[in-house]
Amino acid sequence: MTRDTYLKRSLGTQANRIKQSRVLLVGAGGIGCELLKNLLLTGFGEVHLIDLDTIDLSNLNRQFLFRHEHIKRSKALVAKEAAQTFQPSANIVAHHANIKDSQFNVDWFATFDVVFNALDNLDARRHVNKMCLAADVPLVESGTTGFNGQVQVIKKGKTECYDCNSKEVPKSFPVCTIRSTPSQPIHCIVWAKSYLLPELFGTSEADAEEFDYSADADNAEEIENLQKEARALKEIRQSMGTSEFTEKVFEKVFREDIERLRGMEDMWKTRKAPEPLDLAQLNEALSTAEPGISSMDQRAWTLSENMAVFKDSLDRLSTRLRTLQESAADNSQAVLTFDKDDVDTLDFVTASANLRAKIFEIETKSKFDTKQMAGNIIPAIATTNAMTAGLCVLMSLKVLKDDYENAKMVFLERSGARAINSEKPNPPNPNCPVCSVTNAKVKIDLKRATLDDLVGNVLRQQLEYRGEFSVSTTQGTIYDPDLDDNLPKKLSDLGIAESSFLTVVDEEDEQPRVNLQFVVVAPAESTWQEQPIVLDKVPEIPRKPKAPTPAPESEHVNGTASLGKRKRDAEEAGLDNGDPPTKRVANVTISDGVDKTHPIDLMEDEGGAILIDD
């Protein structure tokens, strides 16, 4: 019996197709490592793997292809090396690069049978979604947070895309909560990380995205005061490197600012007023702090221990910033930013947040907890990643059979009646700005082509746009009826390059055409003699539907399943769910140490066996 005997039995006639497939895996992190292993063990013959990052100590607990000696090496290259040892015959191609690089253009995407996303950020996911739609390649999108996981198949024209629904934006806090009236540990942590640290060692608070001024619009006086505080702190920054620096910072943020706040009596009618800290008293108690306290990250530190770490980390950061400033050509570029894996910034944020928490009588947090909270980390769980990666492969088998009806959205969760829930894929949202568009490829000679070539020759003449329309890039609008100054400019001067997207919006009131999305192909050394802009082929651009048809109701909101209605019964178990009739081909008993009295039924439909019902 060979290693893949059972594999061949379960995959049936699909095994060959899988072996000949060429797939792309984007991300070699938590899901990516599991998925690479699964793809190879399922027999996928050619896997291209891309990741921009290097291996970090904190990856090792779940990214099982990596070992301690691989730290700082490329994730993609090490993953390839490790996986190749257990599947030497597979063709694995690794790229240590960003998937957004222009070399990975739409033609390159189009060479794959399936693309798998195993990413950790919205921006890269959106990019791959767009590229796969433009190249008309199916995408298996996946993600996990803690115990929750999700897998979704995306195919142009058949299912909804990643951008058919709006995505939740990261949580922000009103600035007054953070700066004046904190009531939870997270408020103190955000204050230390997004205000105090950047104000002392980085760029100004105006750039900190965790502050939201909009909710405080009525509070102009308080905002003005806060801005004054920030200016005062900038002055203190000048004394960095002198013996008074620590004292000045402490006195400013833990005494003076708090005394000023206490003075605003209206604020404390319904809340307990904050109590400033006393520097002299704390300095006296310093000797009671245990040495090496910073490495004790599991318990909340005492007040004097926080003071000790505050002083020490402030010194470490000051020294680092000064060294950086000395070697940087431009002083403004020498900044220190928060990184949960940078022990100096984490110590500083933990200690400062806890000192502030004492002032407001808020619970203090351990360094370990602070790291999770400040890094917006929900712990990654290896089992969730493994299950999700397994489901990705099962869905890709449907994709290879062109069976999009059954390429379901799958949700993993811990609470609720079932760990795995699924629902039929939703059709594309007709109003989606990303997928309900006509895609077309346009070849541009960037040395010559002007916006007028595009607007006049291609859009008006060739594609017969008669009325009003606009043209935009991901950076903004470059042409509309009131913005024609750009017409003589070269497209390259308007930021257009290889793999740029250009969106043409028909602004007519009466039955406008759907948006037209061009993806740019721009050979670096162009030698062609024809027009500077050439359409790959003339696209057919349908008119928009009259009234938007609402997308069918989904039981899932933001990826969380509502389980109320879901009861598992024989029908749902796949035996009579409208699937094409299945043909039983084998009644196999697995003999290797498995209970012989319970044979496993394998069922095969036309394209291959189905081992697990979905």
Ligand X SMILES: Nc1ncnc2c1ncn2[C@@H]1O[C@H](COP(=O)(O)OP(=O)(O)OP(=O)(O)O)[C@@H](O)[C@H]1O
Closest CB to Zn ion among residues 373, 435:
435
β partners of residue 140: 116, 153
Q: How far apart are CA 347 and CA 343, in angstroms?
A: 6
Partner residues linked to 194 by β-bridges: none
User: Residue 53 interacts with ligand X (CB under 6 A)?
Assistant: yes
Judged by CB under 6 A, the stretch of 116-124, 280-288, 477-485, 568-576 that binds ligand X is: 116-124
Closest to ligand X by CB, 99 vs 261, is 99
- Stated as kind and residue range, the H or E segment containing 198 is helix 197-201
DSSP state of 574: I
* DSSP reduced 3-state for 547: coil
DSSP state of 358: H
Residue 128 touching Zn ion (CB under 5 A): no
Q: Which string of x and - marks every residue 423-452 that binds Zn ion (by CB under 5 A)?
A: ---------x-xx-----------------
- Please identify, among the stretches 47-55, 83-91, 463-471, 487-495, the one whose residues bind ligand X according to the rule CB under 6 A: 47-55
Among 139, 164, 520, 522, binds Zn ion (CB under 5 A): 164
Which residue number, 115 or 455, has a Cβ lying nearer to ligand X?
A: 115
Of the ranges 156-164, 352-360, 542-550, 555-563, which one interacts with Zn ion (CB under 5 A)? 156-164
In the residue annotation, 176 being an active-site residue is answered as yes
Interface of this chain with ligand X, residues 323 to 362, rule: CB under 6 A: none
d(CA 64, CA 120): 17
The one catalytic residue among 33, 176, 188, 392: 176
432 binds, among ligand X, Zn ion, none (CB under 5 to 8 A by kind): Zn ion
Q: Which 8-state DSSP code applies to residue 162?
A: T
The phi and psi torsions of 569 (rounded to 5 degrees) equal: -140, 180
Q: Which stretch binds ligand X (CB under 6 A): 46-54, 242-250, 300-308, 366-374?
A: 46-54
Is 263 flagged in the annotation as binding?
Answer: no
* Secondary structure of residue 258 in the 3-state scheme: helix
Report d(CA 56, CA 86) in Å as an integer: 23
Q: Pick from 47, 186, 380, 393: which binds ligand X (CB under 6 A)?
A: 380
How many beta carbons lie within 10 A of that of residue 350, not counting itself? Answer: 31
Which does residue 119 bind out of ligand X, Zn ion, none, counting CB within 5 to 8 angstroms by kind?
ligand X
Phi and psi at residue 116, in whole multiples of 5°? -115, 130
Structure tokens at 377: 């980390």
Least distance (Å) between residue 160 CB and Zn ion: 6
Say if residue 61 carries a ligand binding annotation.
Answer: yes
Of the candidates 566, 172, 200, 152, the one whose C-alpha atom is nearest the C-alpha of residue 376 is: 172
Q: 56 vs 290, which CB is nearer to ligand X?
A: 56
Check residue 149 for interaction with ligand X (CB under 6 A). Answer: no
- CA-CA distance, 337 to 106, in Å (whole number)? 35
Distance in angstroms (rounded) separating the CA atoms of residues 133 and 462: 24
d(CA 153, CA 559): 14
Q: Which active-site residues does the annotation give?
A: 176
| Residues of the binding site for ATP | 27-32, 51, 59-62, 75, 120-125
> Which residues are near Zn ion by CB under 5 A?
161, 163-164, 432, 434-435
> Which residues are near ligand X by CB under 6 A?
27-30, 32, 50-53, 58-59, 75, 98-100, 119-121, 124, 380
